[in-house]
């Protein structure tokens, strides 16, 4: 047997139960919305639109998206604002009522909501409008005057600094290392629960697919996503938590998948720039941080790579001597010391705050 729901055309009668007892029906009632969102008097009477449908759901959808609806466009605009600025104009994203937080800029919210509807509910228009604004394009650099006038940055005296979401962290790691499998659609990628408790997605021939294509189960959330605050699927999550905890740094530092990504990142850089250390450093900064390194950063990177290369050369000589006596001690990695040092440097950049935070 298959349980199914369908529209019969004729709605079942509904009564107001006295004292909530289904055996004690009172007056019949019809479909409607909360009186606080209407004038409280006009009856909600949907008319059938096509076929045998009652038209109730379609009428409700039309009412919900009316240009003069007091909430829909405001809630939508406020949610998009939150994702760009880290805080909504109304901070209580799911509560626009009296118990919610009043908007910091009510006129701005009204104007954005009205213009959003006038532009045919275009998300492209909304994103473009927000990202071209002076508020969005300003620096996040701390200034003493903003500390005294806007300590909590409620008035957006500077661009708030916020960390990438869990999916973006994982996808960014894969993208910069050229290990992002861009194949679309199809069945979700399986995950593996390892003996040590870590949960990882399986690698394809082209790398790893985007996070949106990784299988999601309540008890099998990939560890990197859970570490970076991906909400569980059990409760209703209105706003994601945004934590900064030690487990995040430890994961990026010690996780085997991240180390493998750093190795692939170094191999990609070597293929693009075979032997020029200056250009290799520049390429790492360009791909990971979207900027060129400063002269001081370049000099520090060169000194770091020289030290790491010397350490790897010493270690490889010791490993070669050990292999002569016991062939089982080889690690199978044939990369030279320079590439291994570059992989360590790439790993450092992937662990940097600038890689994880949007400035």
* Tens-place pLDDT, residues 330-357: 555 677 888 888 999 999 999 998 898 8
Query: Mean pLDDT throughout 9-33?
Result: 83
Residue bearing the bigger pLDDT, 23 or 329: 23
3-state secondary structure of 180: strand
Predicted local distance difference test score (pLDDT) of residue 237 = 77
- To the nearest 10°, report the CA torsion of 172, 173, 174, 179: 140
Give the residue with greater pLDDT, 278 vs 55. Answer: 278
pLDDT at 131: 92
Average pLDDT over residues 227-240: 79
Question: Residue 47 has what pLDDT?
Answer: 64
Mean pLDDT of 24-34: 82
Give the residue, 330 or 261, on which the prediction is more confident: 261
- Looking at the chain, the whole-number percentage of residues with pLDDT higher than 90 is 23
Look at residue 251 and tell me whether its pLDDT is greater than 80: yes
- Decide if 255 contacts 262 (C-beta within 8 A): no
Residue 356: half-sphere exposure toward Cβ, Cα within 13 Å: 16
Average pLDDT in the chain = 84
155 or 117, which is more confident: 117
What CA–CA distance (Å, rounded) separates 45 from 60? 10
Look at residue 32 and tell me whether its pLDDT is greater than 60.
Answer: yes
For residues 348 and 293, give the distance between their C-alpha atoms in angstroms, rounded to a whole number. 14
Q: What integer pLDDT is reported at residue 46 of this predicted model?
A: 65
Using only C-alpha atoms, the chain has a radius of gyration, in whole angstroms, of 28
The string of pLDDT tens digits covering residues 68-123 is 888 899 999 999 999 898 888 998 988 888 888 999 899 999 999 999 999 999 99
Q: Which of 12-21, 90-99, 220-229, 314-323 has the lowest mean pLDDT?
A: 314-323
Average pLDDT over residues 296-306: 91
Is the pLDDT assigned to residue 34 strictly greater than 70? yes
Q: 293: which DSSP letter?
A: P
Which phi and psi (to 5°) does residue 233 adopt? -85, 0
pLDDT of residue 326: 54
pLDDT at 61 over 70: yes
Phi then psi for residue 168, to 5 deg, are -70, -35
Residue 26 has pLDDT above 60, yes or no: yes
pLDDT at 232: 76
Q: Cα separation of 181 and 179, whole Å?
A: 6
pLDDT at 81: 93
Quote the pLDDT of residue 348. 93
């Amino acid at each position: 047997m298959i349980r199914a729901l369908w529209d019969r055309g004729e709605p079942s009668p509904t009564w107001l139960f006295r004292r909530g007892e289904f055996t004690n029906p009172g007056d019949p009632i019809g479909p409607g919305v909360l009186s606080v969102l209407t004038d409280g008097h006009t009856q909600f009477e949907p008319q059938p639109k096509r076929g045998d449908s009652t038209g109730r759901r379609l009428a409700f959808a039309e009412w919900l998206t009316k240009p003069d609806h007091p909430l829909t466009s405001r809630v939508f605009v406020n949610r998009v604002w939150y994702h760009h600025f880290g805080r909504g104009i109304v901070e209580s994203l799911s509560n626009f009522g009296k118990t919610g937080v009043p908007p910091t800029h009510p006129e701005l919210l009204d104007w954005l909501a009205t213009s959003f509807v006038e532009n045919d509910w275009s998300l492209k228009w909304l994103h473009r409008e927000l990202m071209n604004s002076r508020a969005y394009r300003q620096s996040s650099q701390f200034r003493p005057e903003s500390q005294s006038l806007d300590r909590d940055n409620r008035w957006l005296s500077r661009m708030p600094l916020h960390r990438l979401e869990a999916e973006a962290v994982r996808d960014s790691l894969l993208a910069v290392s050229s290990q992002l499998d861009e194949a679309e659609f199809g069945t979700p990628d399986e995950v593996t629960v390892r003996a040590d408790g870590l949960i990882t997605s399986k690698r394809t021939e082209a790398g790893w697919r985007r996070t949106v294509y990784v299988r999601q189960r309540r008890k099998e959330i990939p560890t990197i996503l859970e570490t970076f605050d991906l909400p569980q699927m059990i409760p209703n999550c209105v706003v994601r938590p945004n934590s900064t905890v030690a487990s995040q740094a430890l994961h990026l530092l010690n996780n085997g998948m991240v180390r493998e990504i750093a190795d692939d990142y170094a191999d990609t850089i070597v293929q693009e720039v075979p032997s020029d250390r200056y250009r290799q450093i520049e390429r790492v900064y360009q791909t990971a941080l979207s900027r060129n390194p400063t002269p001081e950063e370049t000099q520090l990177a060169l000194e770091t790579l020289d030290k790491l290369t010397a350490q790897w050369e010493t270690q490889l000589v010791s490993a070669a001597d050990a292999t002569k006596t016991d062939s089982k001690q080889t690690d199978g990695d044939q990369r030279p010391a320079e590439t291994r040092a570059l992989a360590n440097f790439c790993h450092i950049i992937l662990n940097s705050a600038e890689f994880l935070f949007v400035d």
